[in-house]
């Protein structure tokens, strides 16, 4: 009786293991990566491409590495730059850093780290002004299909001396990540109380 019970347990474990394997195989076949966090919302091909991009560009300067995700409007009080951090960008960056450190992280570890650090969509923004606190009253929103999406939080990273005797301000601006799967144009708008707004236009069809 005991032997029969043990045999039944072994069969059950084998069957469950087989079902899990077939499910994962089907997900990969359909182009859906079995990443640790579904928020990545990336296909197996996109994950592979992002990781390879990071490895192949590990020796690039960061400003050059991030060009595909950056909108640069120039220097000056009415200009600036904004870099969008999508899951693809995040994964490519982690892959780059891993390659530079020779840590040789596997795909699962890279995806897990990306998922842990990319729970929201965010932008890194650099703006220019004449004195400290010049951007104190600035507001940020994302425009998508005529909708205005409010910011979740903003983290000010401080001021630094920029060219032409101006100051630069760097911020991280966080928004809901669920707007990313909706491919199309989004606008990060910096609203200034006493000056025209500053628009950074990103085409999600052209960037990942």
DSSP string, 69-122: GEEE--SSTT-EEEEEE-HHHHHHHHHHHHHHHT----HHHHHHHHHHH-SSEE
Of 65, 59, 120, residue with least CA distance to 93: 65
**Could you list the pLDDT tens digit for every one of the 208 residues in the chain?**
544 544 444 444 444 444 334 444 443 444 334 444 444 678 888 899 999 999 999 999 999 999 999 999 988 877 899 999 988 899 999 999 999 888 878 888 888 888 887 777 899 999 998 888 888 889 999 998 888 999 999 999 988 887 666 888 999 999 988 777 667 889 999 998 888 899 999 988 887 7
Q: What is the pTM of this model?
A: 0.75
Q: How do strand 80-85 and strand 70-72 relate by DSSP bridges?
A: antiparallel
Task: Enter the tokens of residue 22.
Answer: 């077939």
């Amino acid at each position: 009786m005991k032997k029969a019970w043990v045999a039944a347990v072994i069969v059950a474990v084998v069957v469950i293991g087989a079902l899990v394997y077939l499910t994962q195989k089907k997900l990969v076949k359909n182009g859906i990566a079995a990443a640790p966090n579904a928020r990545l919302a990336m296909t197996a091909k996109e994950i592979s491409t992002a990781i390879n991009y990071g490895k192949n560009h590990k020796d690039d300067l960061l400003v050059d590495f991030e060009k595909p995700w950056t909108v640069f409007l120039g220097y000056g009080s009415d200009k600036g730059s904004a870099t969008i951090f999508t899951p693809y960008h995040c994964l490519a960056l982690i892959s780059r850093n891993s390659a530079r450190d020779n840590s040789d992280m596997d795909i699962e570890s890279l995806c897990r780290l990306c998922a842990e650090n990319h729970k929201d969509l965010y932008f890194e923004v650099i703006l220019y002004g004449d004195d400290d606190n010049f951007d104190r009253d600035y507001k940020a929103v994302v425009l998508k299909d005529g909708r205005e999406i409010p910011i979740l939080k903003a983290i000010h990273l401080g001021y630094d001396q920029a060219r032409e005797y101006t100051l630069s301000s760097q911020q991280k601006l966080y928004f809901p990540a669920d707007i990313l799967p909706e491919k199309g144009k989004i606008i990060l708008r910096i609203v200034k109380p006493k000056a025209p707004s500053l628009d950074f236009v990103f085409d999600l069809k052209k960037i990942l």
